[in-house]
Amino acid sequence: MASRVTGLAREMAMAWLFGASMSYDAFMLGFRIPNLTRDLFAEGALSSAFVPTFTEYLAKRSKEDAARLANLVATAIILVVGTFCALGMIFAPQLVDLLASGFRAVPGKFELAVEMTRIMFPFLLLVALAAQAMGVLNACNRFGVPAMSSTFFNIGSVFFGITLGVVLGPYIGLDRIEGMAIGVVFGGLLQLLYQVPSLIGLGFTFKPMIDWSDPGLRRILKLMGPAILGNAAVQINVMVTTNFASQINDPVRGFDGPVSWLSYAFRFMQLPLGVFGVAIGSATLPSISRSAAAGNMDEFRQTISNSLGTVFLLTLPSSIGLAVLGESIIGAIYQRGAFQVYDTEQTALALSFFAIGLSGYAALKVLVPAFYSLGDARTPMLVSIGSIVINWGVAATMVHGVELRQAGLALTTSAVALFGFLVQFLMLRNRIGGIHGRALLAKLVRIAAASAAMAAVVWLSSRGMRAWTGTDHWARLADVAVSMPLGVAVYYGAVKALGLHEIDMVARSFTGPLQRRLRRQS
């Protein structure tokens, strides 16, 4: 939660400084290229391949063997990802042309995007090492420090970015956008360094070594090939969406607008996705890896079912809340400085369509690693390839045929995420002989009923607040301050009335650490 909240604060700073502009479009593409590779390689394929293997080493071999495997993987990352970063910086113009061909329509936009890409590409190496550190700590049942590490990335990127670009920029010859790009690299370094003391405390210190014939390293590399494709759907689909968005000529903003609106909306949707989907998936993976290694499939099935139930319990009302309150939320958070009312309206429109796929996005964070813990990287790979093909075809239709512009692109991304979830759920169910599907469906029906009650109350509350206060920044903030707590209270009451007592367990998971800290202090 801290990570996503500070990430939202980082986006608020960007919206205040740059709004929906050529500079922000170029920055987001330059950030998205290494960030796509991070999601695809570091936090996706690497984690999915490394954690089950490393967990098995901890369970069945000595700690020295596990430490050696960690060092082999870290050294391989430095060699392989470091080379990839160098190539990415060299071929940045070709990458920008491939991923945002429409940028050439605006003078200077293409060149700025190339500069941003070259500045931020080293971020990939730092965050890949941070992802491996996160995998080691998670496998050792340490979740707090790795979960907080991306918070330090957000804090570091904003602090160094504003310091270099805004405070010192006029004196050292850096533009604001260049300073923010350099801040991203420093933030990645901080994310890695924050985890190092915990690794040392567990007895894992880095020693460069490489042995390409090592069975553990070869197993990880063998899993990573299909795993890269298996984790690729969402990230590549977002890049396809960016390419199509760069070609949209908005009647008010021209070519400067659609890419920014989609970026702000997708980044905002990542708040509940990270708090719920990624967090639950990170906690689930070591558990199911141990169950799979021990051959305890009953426990494996129960863990998957419980995790999916919790994902739906938290993300379904979140998606409805984002759709109903989207304009007020976007206005309250972004609408200031260079970010205008029209930007709020267009970003909220994209957010409402992205929200449709939130539950699918989050559920995939649980399902995809489940296949890897079973040693099956082929199934997610095939589903991912199919999703990419479908997304490209439908996105082209939405932009050029139906002309829904950025809203159509957001809808396409959500539909593909739901498709990927449904297909992989059915395949996993057949693979392991069921996932307590009837109980999960009954739970989903009750969650949907509670979410519908919440949606009705929030819609009436928001409509009344807007009629009373208006649509400026403070009016939207007042709407969120009243309607959101009201919606949470209604949903909690409805869920309890329908017998879903898991909501109390979820509440304790958030409040328990705070209560224990307060007791210790008293």
247, pLDDT greater than 90: no
**Contacting residues for 152 by C-beta, under 8 A, at least 6 apart:** 187, 190, 191, 194
- What is the DSSP secondary-structure string of 447-489? HHHHHHHHHHHHHHHHHHHHHHH-SSHHHHHHHHHHHHHHHHH
Dist CA 261 CA 284 (whole Å): 33
Mean pLDDT of 419-426: 90
Q: What is the pLDDT of residue 249?
A: 77
Place of tokens 């307060």: 518
Query: Cβ atoms within 10 A of the Cβ of 210, count?
Result: 13
- What is the DSSP secondary-structure string of 172-213? HT--HHHHHHHHHHHHHHHHHHHHHHHHHHTT--------TT
Q: What is the pLDDT of residue 447?
A: 93
Q: What is the pLDDT of residue 397?
A: 74
Mean pLDDT of 238-255: 77
Write down how long the chain is.
522
Residue, of 277 and 517, whose pLDDT is higher: 277
Residue type, 137: L
pLDDT digits (tens, 9 = 90+) for 223-241: 777 666 666 666 677 777 7
Q: What is the pLDDT of residue 180?
A: 95
Residue, of 68 and 378, whose pLDDT is higher: 68
Radius of gyration, CA atoms only, the chain: 23
Which of 11-25, 103-117, 282-296, 447-461 is predicted with the least confidence, judged by mean pLDDT?
A: 282-296
Q: What is the pLDDT of residue 285?
A: 75
Q: What is the pLDDT of residue 446?
A: 93
Token pair belonging to 248? 């949209």
Give residue 147's Cα distance to chain centre: 13
Q: What share of the chain is helix, strand, coil (3-state, %, to 5)?
A: 85, 0, 15
Q: What is the pLDDT of residue 519?
A: 62
Which SS3 state, helix, strand or coil, does residue 104 take? helix
Buried b (16+ CB within 10 A) or exposed e, 464-493: ebbeebeeebebbbbbbebbbebbeebbbe
Q: What is the pLDDT of residue 120?
A: 95
473, pLDDT greater than 90: no
Which SS3 state, helix, strand or coil, does residue 21 take? coil
Q: What is the pLDDT of residue 451?
A: 94
Mean pLDDT (the chain, rounded): 84
Q: What is the pLDDT of residue 237?
A: 73
- Percent of the chain beyond pLDDT 70? 91
Tell the burial category of 247 from Cβ atoms under 10 Å away from its Cβ (0-12, 13-18, 19+).
middle
pTM of the model: 0.72
- Percent of the chain beyond pLDDT 90? 29
pLDDT digits (tens, 9 = 90+) for 445-468: 999 999 999 999 999 999 888 888
Which of 143-147, 263-267, 502-506, 514-518 is predicted with the least confidence, judged by mean pLDDT?
A: 514-518
Mean pLDDT of 380-397: 79
Q: What is the pLDDT of residue 255?
A: 75
Q: What is the pLDDT of residue 94?
A: 93
41, pLDDT greater than 90: no
Q: What is the pLDDT of residue 39?
A: 60
- Interhelix angle 92-99/232-245, nearest 10 degrees: 80
Q: What is the pLDDT of residue 403?
A: 59
* Number of helices and strands in the chain (H, E): 22, 0
Please report which confidence band the pLDDT of residue 113 belongs to, taking 50, 70 and 90 as the band edges: very high
pLDDT digits (tens, 9 = 90+) for 263-310: 888 877 877 887 777 778 777 877 888 888 788 888 888 888 888 988
Buried b (16+ CB within 10 A) or exposed e, 403-414: ebbbbbbbbbbb
pLDDT digits (tens, 9 = 90+) for 139-159: 888 888 988 898 999 999 999
Token pair belonging to 343? 């930007």
Q: What is the pLDDT of residue 183?
A: 95
Task: Calculate the dihedral angle through the C-alpha atoms of 434, 438, 440, 444, rounding to the nearest 10 degrees.
Answer: 150
All structural domains of the chain with their residue ranges = 2-508
pLDDT digits (tens, 9 = 90+) for 169-190: 889 889 999 999 999 999 999 9
